Amino acid sequence: MTIENVMAQEIITVRKDQTVSDALKLMEKHKISRLPVISPKTDELVGIVTEKDMAIKIASAKYEEVPLSHMRISTIMTDKVITADVGESKVQVLKKMVENHIGGIPILKEGNIVGMVTKTDFLNDVDMDPYTGTPIKEIMTNRVITVGPDERLVHARRLMIDNDIARLVVVNAGVITGIVTAKDVAKTVIDFKKRVPEKYQHSQIRNLFVQEVMSQTIETCAKDDSIADVAKIMIEKEFSGMPVSDEKNKVQGIVSKTDLLKYIYDFNRKRGNY
């Protein structure tokens, strides 16, 4: 079966001359975390931009003094895009995603973008029956990068960069109190730049704290919950990752859609299905 059967054919793109604010609005409206970037003149695919790109770059020292109106997608996008052809198989495309640690791939036909496939598209298409007996502890990340609610947002952003992750579990005395994502960071910095005069931004951005930004209503899973059950929750509630907690709501690990797909790919490859 080719990737054409899995990919989303409604393609949401952003032009490279649009602003980061435009891109974030598109992501929020369509509930997506990445956008193919096209040339305004030819509609040719020239890059890709993700929530993590925004969080890392717009709050960096390099762009700290750049007004939002001057901050174009072309300045923060990744211009080396991994793509797939519409004729490639599901397995070939999943392999590219797993091996390159990416969450989405533009699909091309004769050089033109005709679709987009993400981790969610694959999970929606996978038969979860084989994974009902496997607990999430088999694939979760045990070393969880956490942040306190009273820590500064710039510190949370630095943790994301240093550990190449898009979300942090917020804990207070070991108990999970929230989660902060790359999208939260990007949205907060954009809003901050809009309302604070440029001459005060450098000093005042350091007065933003995690508790002002984090999502406090979160859902967790337990170590013995099955991969199938956790995948279902993540798909239905549009989560990219979930903390794993014990009965006292203390953090035990974290699991992401990337973890799910990697396990599914390895599981089938070892059994000769892929």
Residue 216's domain is classified under what CATH number? 3.10.580.10
* Residue-by-residue pLDDT tens, the chain, 274 positions: 789 888 888 899 999 999 988 998 999 899 898 999 999 989 899 999 998 888 888 777 676 667 767 789 998 999 999 999 999 998 899 999 999 989 999 999 998 999 999 999 989 888 899 999 999 999 999 999 999 999 999 899 999 999 989 899 999 988 999 999 988 988 888 888 788 777 777 677 788 999 999 988 789 999 999 999 999 999 999 899 999 999 999 999 999 999 999 999 998 888 777 6
Boundary of a domain, candidates 102, 125, 148: 125
Look up residue 164 and give its two tokens. 């190449």
Same domain, yes or no: 121 and 138: no
Same domain, 111 and 172: no
Per the structure block, which two tokens stand in for 226?
A: 């099955």
On whether the CB atoms of residues 88 and 54 are closer than 8 A, the answer is no
**Who's near 220: CB < 8 A, 6+ residues apart?**
176, 242, 243, 244, 245, 249
**pLDDT for position 186:** 86
* Claim to verify: residue 110 and residue 205 sit in the same structural domain: no
**Structural domain containing residue 39:** 3-125
Looking at 58, 93, 125, the residue that finishes a domain is: 125
Q: What is the pTM of this model?
A: 0.84
141 shares its domain with 98 = no
- Structural domain total, the chain: 2
| pLDDT score, position 96 | 93
| End position of a domain, from candidates 65, 90, 125 | 125
Given a contact cutoff of 8 angstroms between Cβ atoms, the answer to whether 243 and 251 are in contact is yes
75 belongs to a structural domain? yes
- Would residue 98 count as lying in a domain? yes
Are residues 175 and 68 part of one domain?
A: no
**Cβ-proximal residues to 3 (8 Å cutoff; 6+ apart), any chain:** 84, 86, 88, 89, 90, 92, 93, 107, 115, 117
User: By three-state DSSP, how is residue 264 classified?
Assistant: helix
Which of the 8 DSSP states describes residue 22? H
> Does residue 271 lie within any of the structural domains?
no
Helix axes 182-195, 20-30, angle to 10 degrees: 130
CA distances from 241 to 2, 43, 52, 165, 212 (A): 27, 33, 14, 11, 21
The pLDDT assigned to 190 comes to 83
Q: Are the C-beta atoms of residues 16 and 46 closer than 8 Å to each other?
A: yes
CA distance 45 to 39: 7
**Could you identify the residue written with the tokens 């929020």?**
28
> Do 69 and 177 lie in a common domain?
no
Predicted pLDDT at 61 = 66
Q: What digits encode the pLDDT tens for the residues 29-49?
A: 998 989 999 999 898 999 999
Angstrom distance (rounded) from CA 125 to CA 91: 12
